Structure 1
Amino acid sequence: MPHAPMAPWNNPSFLFLLALLSLMSSASQSSRLFREYIGAESNCLSFLDVPIHPSVDFHFILSFAVDYTTSKHPTPTNGDFNIFWDDDNLTPSHVTSIKQSHGNVKVAFSLGGDSLGPGYVYFHPFSIDSWVANAVTSLSRIIKRYNLDGIDIDYEHFMADPDTFAECIGRLLTTLKNNRVISFASIAPFEDDEVQRHYLALWRKYGSVIDYVNFQFYAYDASTTVSQFLGYFEMQRSNYNGGKILVSCTTDRSSSGGLSPEHGFFNASRMLKMQGKLDGIFIWSADDSKSNGFLYEKQSQDLLASDRLY
């Protein structure tokens, strides 16, 4: 008597195919967003020096605009921002040119950063209302002059409590978006108690106006393993619940940390892509990558653009 055909759900080959299709579906849901900070080190670097893959969404992030004076001894200005990136090689005409020649490129700029000269940059508002009013005015002027698309928040030192930070930054982003001055916004926290207190306060109240979380995974220890990195990623997905968490590495050899490209960063990124969790990759920074021919920028963009599962 002939055997009845095996039900497909009991067939190992069929089950393997289903699993493969599920992986392919998850991978296809991952983002193709690549972001790169540029201009912080006045390294005579232009947008044209950086390789741009035609199949990714590419964001340059000019670094930095700071609400400090431009004098020899910079001091806080309560929201009146000045440009501190390399304005000789990254000018308004250069922004217009790179966007016209590459339809997949957008240009943002970042506020704050770690330091100016020998001193830290502090978030130091005199009052919420006055800081927001000054910031909206000065930043709108910069955005329009440079034809910028978005803004990134990278304050790392604070002379204000978390609630004040949340209100100042949250109102700023809300106003710029409502006025259609910017189309996207991001924040750049890292694992530090004070930093996280401030950014999580902002996220809890104004997460709806923040499009990307450029989490600085390279601030973790340089001995980070792939499994530890994936654990850190899940922890930050929980902290910034519902946010698009970008993975990151640094090409700054003087302060390198986290999971490096040489020790598994791309393996970890590939695993997240297979799971449909890779919301994008960013690198700090183009200035530091110039010396190695932008090797990791190329690898990052190839990974994002590829449909392969390995």
Structure 2
Amino acid sequence: MSSSYLFASILTLQIFLSSSFFQAAAENSRLFREYIGAEGKNVTFTDVPINPAVDFHFILSFTIDYTSSSPPRPTNGDFGAYWDTENLSPSQVSYVKAHHPNVKVAMSLAGDTVNDHRVFFEPASINSWVRNAISSITRIVKEFDLDGIDIDYEHFSADPDTFAECIGRLLYYLKQNEIVSFTSIAPYEDDSVQPHYLALWRKYGHLIDYVNFQFYAYKKGTTVSEFMRYFEIQSANYYGGKILVSFGTDGSGGLSPKNGFFRACSMLRDQGKLHGIFIWSADDSKEANFPYETQSQDFLTSMI
């Protein structure tokens, strides 16, 4: 067999496998997710409109491995619940899940700040951080009867490989022992952030069910065509992953519902690439009575 023929055969096989992979991954979904509880605005689960025809995930924001002192100090993986636990308590988690069978509740790790100080990923060592994280997160999951976990570290004092090992081992344990049933990550386009999540994805992407990509971290006034290009870039970065589209109701950047977000969703739906929608955040939406939560869920149910 000539080398040119062999090369052509290998290339044909690669194209076929790639095409088959994307055909398998190309799948619209009625998944709607919303972060809740980070801003102390007394928002409750029952405030938020819940369409029974969508798969609805509340994401409690945040659980943080820092002390509550001033200034806060890192605790090497010993997480505590920093969301509004008065309004989003274990009993209220039980209530919303009992009254809405389509609702699941997750919690998100870290976020941006605690008490106006940045939250850094700052492990003393891989083994000690993982050991502490497994213990504290398992305790919180059981206390609140949670279904999933989301990773939203945005500041780092450790290299990407250390982050990948710590988070990857944590996700492996939580899934292997059926402590959670789904996982997600929440990266965004930034040279100090994205390399950490890409390192995690390369090694442990098979453990991650959803990519809550923060498209609202792009510039304000993003156009539909720019948004579609960003989506393709991130789909290539997180190859084979379920990339959820997103916007913020806090006046942040990206493509807003007023400027064509749902038009972009229609385009992705027609391509079989609309894996779900998530919003940051219920706290910011409360004052306006959640119009975009209703619109997003109505859009997703229109795909039935």
2: CA distance between counterparts of 1:32 and 1:275?
A: 15
Compute the displacement of 1:225 (Å): 0.4
2: CA distance between counterparts of 1:128 and 1:29?
A: 36
Runs of 4+ that moved beyond 6 A: none
Compute the displacement of 1:275 (Å): 1.2
Compute the displacement of 1:93 (Å): 0.3
Name the residue aligned to 2:172: 174
Name the residue aligned to 1:144: 142
2: CA distance between counterparts of 1:263 and 1:194?
A: 29
Structure number with greater Rg is 1
Equivalent residues in 2 for 1:173-252, closer than 5 Å: 173-252=171-250
2: CA distance between counterparts of 1:186 and 1:91?
A: 22
Question: What SS does structure 2 have at the residue aligned with 1:98?
Answer: helix
Question: What SS does structure 1 have at the residue aligned with 2:192?
Answer: helix
2: CA distance between counterparts of 1:65 and 1:307?
A: 34
Question: What SS does structure 2 have at the residue aligned with 1:292?
Answer: coil
2: CA distance between counterparts of 1:29 and 1:279?
A: 7
1:120-169 Cα offsets, whole Å, 9 max, x none, are 10000000000000000000000000000000000000000000000000
Name the residue aligned to 1:89: 87
1: CA distance between counterparts of 2:180 and 2:70?
A: 31
Compute the displacement of 1:194 (Å): 1.5
| Contiguous gaps of at least 5 residues in structure 1 | 1-25
TM-score, scaled relative to structure 2: 0.91
1:95-128 Cα offsets, whole Å, 9 max, x none, are 0010000000000000010011221100000000
Equivalent residues in 2 for 1:33-182, closer than 5 Å: 33-182=31-180
Contact kept? 1:68, 1:76, Cα under 8 Å:
yes
2: CA distance between counterparts of 1:180 and 1:225?
A: 41
What amino acid is the match of 2:211? V
What amino acid is the match of 1:281? I
Name the residue aligned to 2:11: none
Compute the displacement of 1:223 (Å): 2.1
Name the residue aligned to 1:266: 262
Question: What SS does structure 2 have at the residue aligned with 1:111?
Answer: strand
| Contiguous gaps of at least 5 residues in structure 2 | 1-23
2: CA distance between counterparts of 1:34 and 1:304?
A: 8
2: CA distance between counterparts of 1:130 and 1:72?
A: 24
Compute the displacement of 1:60 (Å): 0.1
Question: What SS does structure 1 have at the residue aligned with 2:63?
Answer: strand
Contact kept? 2:71, 2:117, Cα under 8 Å:
no
Compute the displacement of 1:80 (Å): 0.3
2:290 to 289, 294, 300: 294
Question: What SS does structure 2 have at the residue aligned with 1:190?
Answer: coil
What amino acid is the match of 2:303? D
Name the residue aligned to 1:3: none
Question: What SS does structure 1 have at the residue aligned with 2:121?
Answer: coil
1:13-32 Cα offsets, whole Å, 9 max, x none, are xxxxxxxxxxxxx9x94100
1: CA distance between counterparts of 2:195 and 2:27?
A: 31
2: CA distance between counterparts of 1:54 and 1:48?
A: 13
2: CA distance between counterparts of 1:288 and 1:223?
A: 19
Contact kept? 1:70, 1:82, Cα under 8 Å:
no
Question: What SS does structure 2 have at the residue aligned with 1:141?
Answer: helix
Contact kept? 1:188, 1:214, Cα under 8 Å:
yes
1: CA distance between counterparts of 2:167 and 2:238?
A: 16
What amino acid is the match of 1:166? A
What amino acid is the match of 2:267? M
2: CA distance between counterparts of 1:238 and 1:258?
A: 19
Contact kept? 2:108, 2:151, Cα under 8 Å:
yes
Compute the displacement of 1:71 (Å): 1.5
Query: Percent of pairs identical after alignment?
Result: 66
Structure 1 vs Structure 2 CA RMSD = 1.4
